[in-house]
Structure 1
């Protein structure tokens, strides 16, 4: 299926590209370069395909996002082992500029570390000392944080022949000189600026020097796609749309002509369909195949979106394309007709496994839906799939058809007035935090979630003018429950590090955590697994047994995956630390169970390190006297709905902030008075847009009445000694209102659900 060749646009024709880009720093500034940081025999970031293919020959470097093209995140280094890891100490630390979510995997090339922080800011450090060599701010529009999904995060860079590539939150791909930090070119990747597109994922460079980048925003009514650009010039090479366009019009290629037949009705057209490739890619240089992890739909609601019929390709799929041309090769859909935000954007690992006496070239993935998949990466054949976390929406995968055996439990769109409790929920059994594979133990290390929510059918989703999209078509637990219910839900959500045998498809060991959203993993030849935790620690375990061997405080939640490298023969381990992201923004009430606050930093350890980790300078939490609460119950309830529709994405559901942005229950007396002006005027320098064209003054006042009520709720809780976060008392096995153990059992259905026969494409 041939993808049509697209003529490269000139610099003047490319949307958002300007002649001013080359040669102007535009926020980038080069600091005095420590020449000792650069390798004497190589230019900075002198990476190419041959070096990445032979990454094991240079174990001291970490030259691509997953260390090698297979994205295994396994390091052959073994100076630090299970016998001496308890001697690790801090070698150096660096405080980043923005205390928001930190999700990047650093690159380390020839003694220099390159990494990113919030708002896509790029840093270069001497990897031995932590000395800042340069910093590049791509000047992301700070207002994008208020329009996009999941905080102002960025997951990292690609390096290639002296250049670094970063995708920005506002949707650009920027090339940077690796030695000076100066911008070389800047491309707008977004096809429709009226939609809430953005980029949080890390680019990859594959094939004949193609820079690959996807985008996010599926919840907000966009159409997903992946684009390849020439690494030298930034010219567009190809684009692959991951869902079809308007069925009344010709599709871009034969693959999409096939895909459009699996969608029904036309409700999804205005929403774009979703299917964004917002995170994971992997690449096989022998097959020259790029593997794309495709995300969820707009709407989530399958009944509203597609009349409850069809597979809706390529949602929640792994799609293989030719890396040089973008031509479709094969796909495997993990969740046909996805209705739960069960993305397949989670980390993919390429390796070889001996299965039934035969060596297979496999792709492994643990997507949100809760199944661990082993797939033949040459042709997309499913080899095996088993549940790695508790689930009830399906009770297995049919290996003949490759399709899950759906139960009735997940089908909330068939309910007139009822609800369905679904495991896993929308953050899945595993989210974006990368897993790793150790070929010596044969195990995959998964940062997993034990997580379930109630979904409720919404037949007439409301329109959001701020993001130009209709709502998800579903009310899920925590989105509409009251604040106390959110706390009770959070107590049911736990994290877990799982060591998984991909051949036997079974768990070997596990380590439990207090909450979800713990960090990605790194595994090494020293029989070690490293992981940061949501509750503010960095930890090392024995890779074979799971025994905890070392931990150290991080002073903040750690979500990113660590890396290891050597400089001058000495091995280091680096964690990017900083609480934030989706879980701690709109689900602030749930994230408080982690008991941490945002404090963005780089933490690097070595054997015998004796640096002192500075104490965080957290601002004091204000406890001002709220104004008198005069609104009636109807006004407060209306204000709650308006608040959750317009403000909760940043300030937290039910006005419980996770600490990334101000907690609106703690407004000062001055800000209570100034509240309408703040909402109408916005605070562009802090990422808050104006709502002057979105909300009427009466609606703003109604939201304020709700916030006054929530301020008094907080004050009463504090007076009664009820504290938030990991320190607060949990009342036994309390469940959200209406969910007694009996009610939960009724919602949940049988333990694994009622098995359905494999079904044809027309209906799940």
Structure 2
């Protein structure tokens, strides 16, 4: 059963929480007293941040301007709150009527006094730690939604939970997915007219994606929209699925359901009464396996418009037809009314993984413009007549491996961008590095493991130190200001690392962003000049938000290094990103708080046993490792150190101990599940042989470095 954790034995009762909350607003409203009227009129309450993207348009723009280009140099730390986790922190905090609601890893919710960070209550859904076996990209959570005194949480294990905003106690909890299937939830819910909307993740592992709407009062499912068709022999749920099925081949439903999970982006236009969602990749990534013979595979990698009352399909735009590279369209969606060629247009904007920035007419999904926001090598351009990318020969890697940019982490990942109507610019956290794709020697579907359908060895890092260093030099990241009116770059700021935080823009002429090298930074919104920064002691991936209490503007960001890049690309994680020191940091003008020093020495204690395996066994282990283990323990067994680096594991020394961990789940309570159903003893030993090889390589490199 979920538990309510308290900060100390002097427990805050529900009445005391109400007293704290009521001191910051007038009237008889209780905590989280947000309804349709308040959300629809969010611009009339610039001091509140009532939804994930501040309002339904998801612009992440604040009208507050006390903190501005002229005053930001006086910004200082007002308070911090420790989140007590060692995994990634990706949440956008919600603040309304003086109370902050935020989440940390493992879907834990905290309610804080927004003026000073004092804990009001904490809710832990007690997600089983071995659920990480189905979490492609860390045990993260991006935040909550609020509505009429309730706080709504999507838990990693697929539950949707409604909490009493005053006490943190559970009002109701429903399983939105079949708990026997490898679904997860990391995204933030949204609420529209009494309906809680939540999607899910798990496409790599084999699920059928959907978005669900649930009654705020009791969790009853009101509608469900599937994003890919099921087995045609069982019939189709609606005409949209009948339409989509015509674009698939083979028996995709036997490979885990086709994928297409709705794990992040949503936006809502109340005037048009349209809900917009972003749809993810297929299962497996590789279309040649998923849908032999081709096909666009709707609605993978698509923006889909639905009627929020019923879930009825209205229109779609597919950014990457027949996607084969994990080029999801789940990235942040922004709605705005902007002038284009002398006419104001109702637009939808997205910079999905595939490297192109799209501006669509949100009334009907028609394409207004599309241009690449990074150097793209898999396609030359988007054909404006068809709306389709024009692919380069060989990009689908059918005949031989192909190196393309962007990588499977995309040119832009989940980290939210923001739009400033004063400058007319969109501020994008850009990733910029390539990846190699190749057809696997053989594909074996595993129902409880990642199913990418690509050659893991081809996609690995080179063993040669110079070649690996050259690849590392190509791993870049930047803050990019993009003008959607001209669909062109306005300015850029290059960062040291690639996995940087989401952005916030304000009427004070500022853009706030956290960086991979552990700084929280304010830039000028018009030209990118760096005006202010604060050392956060850890890499920042979450976006900032801002609010006002008692007439003072606060700027707040959740910090804590983690996520997909931190897990997979351990070779290129910077020392400044580590350790994971997860906190909420909140700033205001005139404050001068500081953080305690954090000792840290990122290193691995290499003590590998003698290698007894032959080259064939090591290569077998290499392939298995890349298919099964890489997502958590890093490419080529180099960990990002959020979780133990296997090259320094003491379990390497005994095959029996290794087997107990890998196959029998001896460490499942620490998050390492037993893989006995998908890995036999011979395969487990082959993986061990490969990790031993990499441990010896690491030891030799460590000995040769100055």
Normalising by the smaller structure, the TM-score range is over 0.9
- Describe the SS at the equivalent of 2:236: coil
Q: What is the deviation of 1:99?
A: 1.0
Q: What is the deviation of 1:714?
A: 2.1
Equivalent residues of 1:496, 1:510 under 8 A apart: yes
Q: Which residue of the partner structure matches residue 155 of structure 2?
A: 168
Q: Which segment is superposed worse, 402-411 or 362-371?
A: 402-411
Q: Which segment is superposed worse, 117-126 or 581-590?
A: 581-590
Q: Which residue of the partner structure matches residue 224 of structure 1?
A: 209
Q: Which residue of the partner structure matches residue 204 of structure 1?
A: 190
Q: What is the deviation of 1:466?
A: 3.3
Give the Cα–Cα distance (whole angstroms) in 1 for the partners of residues 385 and 528 of structure 2: 35
Give the Cα–Cα distance (whole angstroms) in 2 for the partners of residues 593 and 155 of structure 1: 25
Q: Which residue of the partner structure matches residue 704 of structure 2?
A: 720
Q: What is the deviation of 1:269?
A: 4.0
Q: What is the deviation of 1:98?
A: 1.3
Query: Structure 1 431/695 Cα, relative in aligned 2: closer, same or farther at 3 Å?
Result: same
**Which of 282, 286, 292 in structure 2 is aligned with 1:307?**
292
Q: Which segment is superposed worse, 532-541 or 645-654?
A: 645-654
Give the Cα–Cα distance (whole angstroms) in 1 for the partners of residues 672 and 599 of structure 2: 24
Q: Which residue of the partner structure matches residue 326 of structure 2?
A: 341
Equivalent residues of 2:145, 2:190 under 8 A apart: yes
Which blocks of at least 5 consecutive residues in structure 1 are unaligned? 1-23, 723-764
Q: What is the deviation of 1:594?
A: 6.3
Equivalent residues of 1:556, 1:597 under 8 A apart: yes
Q: Which residue of the partner structure matches residue 108 of structure 2?
A: 121
Q: Which segment is superposed worse, 65-74 or 623-632?
A: 623-632
Q: How does 1:237-316 map to 2 (within 5 A)?
A: 237-267=222-252, 269-316=254-301
Q: Which residue of the partner structure matches residue 91 of structure 1?
A: 78
Equivalent residues of 1:219, 1:472 under 8 A apart: no
1:665 counterpart = 2:651: no
Q: What is the deviation of 1:482?
A: 4.1
Equivalent residues of 1:300, 1:474 under 8 A apart: no
**Which of 11, 22, 26 in structure 1 is aligned with 2:3?**
26
Number of corresponding residues? 693
Note the aligned Cα RMSD (angstroms).
2.1
Give the Cα–Cα distance (whole angstroms) in 1 for the partners of residues 464 and 576 of structure 2: 17
Give the Cα–Cα distance (whole angstroms) in 1 for the partners of residues 461 and 520 of structure 2: 34
Query: Structure 1 703/397 Cα, relative in aligned 2: closer, same or farther at 3 Å?
Result: closer
Q: What is the deviation of 1:311?
A: 1.3
Q: What is the deviation of 1:271?
A: 3.0
Q: Which residue of the partner structure matches residue 630 of structure 2?
A: 648
Query: Structure 1 592/629 Cα, relative in aligned 2: closer, same or farther at 3 Å?
Result: farther
Q: Which residue of the partner structure matches residue 670 of structure 2?
A: 686
Give the Cα–Cα distance (whole angstroms) in 2 for the partners of residues 372 and 582 of structure 1: 22
Which blocks of at least 5 consecutive residues in structure 2 are unaligned? none
Q: Which residue of the partner structure matches residue 182 of structure 1?
A: 169
Q: What is the deviation of 1:379?
A: 1.0
Query: Structure 1 706/310 Cα, relative in aligned 2: closer, same or farther at 3 Å?
Result: closer
Q: Which residue of the partner structure matches residue 435 of structure 2?
A: 453
Query: Structure 1 476/52 Cα, relative in aligned 2: closer, same or farther at 3 Å?
Result: farther
Q: What is the deviation of 1:390?
A: 0.6
1:350 counterpart = 2:335: yes
Q: What is the deviation of 1:663?
A: 0.8
Q: What is the deviation of 1:265?
A: 2.2
Q: What is the deviation of 1:593?
A: 7.3
Give the Cα–Cα distance (whole angstroms) in 2 for the partners of residues 173 and 300 of structure 1: 28
**Which of 524, 527, 531 in structure 1 is aligned with 2:513?**
531
Give the Cα–Cα distance (whole angstroms) in 2 for the partners of residues 572 and 221 of structure 1: 42
1:43 counterpart = 2:20: no
Q: Which residue of the partner structure matches residue 677 of structure 1?
A: 660
Q: What is the deviation of 1:393?
A: 1.8
Q: How does 1:540-555 map to 2 (within 5 A)?
A: 540-555=522-537
Deviation string for 1:377-409 (max 9, x for gaps)?
111111111111110222222222222222214
Give the Cα–Cα distance (whole angstroms) in 2 for the partners of residues 62 and 627 of structure 1: 54
- Describe the SS at the equivalent of 2:573: helix
Give the Cα–Cα distance (whole angstroms) in 2 for the partners of residues 559 and 476 of structure 1: 29
Q: What is the deviation of 1:506?
A: 0.9
Q: What is the deviation of 1:619?
A: 7.5
Query: Structure 1 160/645 Cα, relative in aligned 2: closer, same or farther at 3 Å?
Result: same
Give the Cα–Cα distance (whole angstroms) in 2 for the partners of residues 480 and 67 of structure 1: 40
Equivalent residues of 1:100, 1:599 under 8 A apart: no
1:81 counterpart = 2:65: no
Q: What is the deviation of 1:589?
A: 2.2
Q: Which residue of the partner structure matches residue 475 of structure 2?
A: 493
Give the Cα–Cα distance (whole angstroms) in 1 for the partners of residues 457 and 370 of structure 2: 27
Deviation string for 1:292-336 (max 9, x for gaps)?
101111121122222242211111111111011111111111111
Q: Which residue of the partner structure matches residue 18 of structure 1?
A: none
1:505 counterpart = 2:487: yes
Q: What is the deviation of 1:477?
A: 5.6
Q: Which residue of the partner structure matches residue 520 of structure 1?
A: 502
- Describe the SS at the equivalent of 1:143: helix
- Describe the SS at the equivalent of 1:363: strand
Q: Which residue of the partner structure matches residue 355 of structure 2?
A: 370
Q: Which segment is superposed worse, 24-33 or 260-269?
A: 24-33
Q: Which residue of the partner structure matches residue 453 of structure 2?
A: 472
Give the Cα–Cα distance (whole angstroms) in 1 for the partners of residues 72 and 261 of structure 2: 40
Give the Cα–Cα distance (whole angstroms) in 2 for the partners of residues 179 and 404 of structure 1: 50
- Describe the SS at the equivalent of 1:499: strand
Q: Which residue of the partner structure matches residue 15 of structure 1?
A: none
Q: What is the deviation of 1:57?
A: 1.2
Equivalent residues of 1:218, 1:295 under 8 A apart: yes
Q: What is the deviation of 1:29?
A: 5.2
Q: TM-score scaled by structure 2?
A: 0.94
Q: TM-score scaled by structure 1?
A: 0.87
Q: How does 1:420-431 map to 2 (within 5 A)?
A: 420-431=402-413
Give the Cα–Cα distance (whole angstroms) in 1 for the partners of residues 417 and 54 of structure 2: 13
Give the Cα–Cα distance (whole angstroms) in 1 for the partners of residues 651 and 290 of structure 2: 45
- Describe the SS at the equivalent of 2:3: coil
Give the Cα–Cα distance (whole angstroms) in 1 for the partners of residues 217 and 653 of structure 2: 50
Give the Cα–Cα distance (whole angstroms) in 2 for the partners of residues 25 and 593 of structure 1: 36
- Describe the SS at the equivalent of 2:438: strand
- Describe the SS at the equivalent of 2:233: coil
Equivalent residues of 2:127, 2:155 under 8 A apart: yes
Deviation string for 1:350-397 (max 9, x for gaps)?
110111222111111111111111111111111111111110222222
Give the Cα–Cα distance (whole angstroms) in 2 for the partners of residues 702 and 177 of structure 1: 50
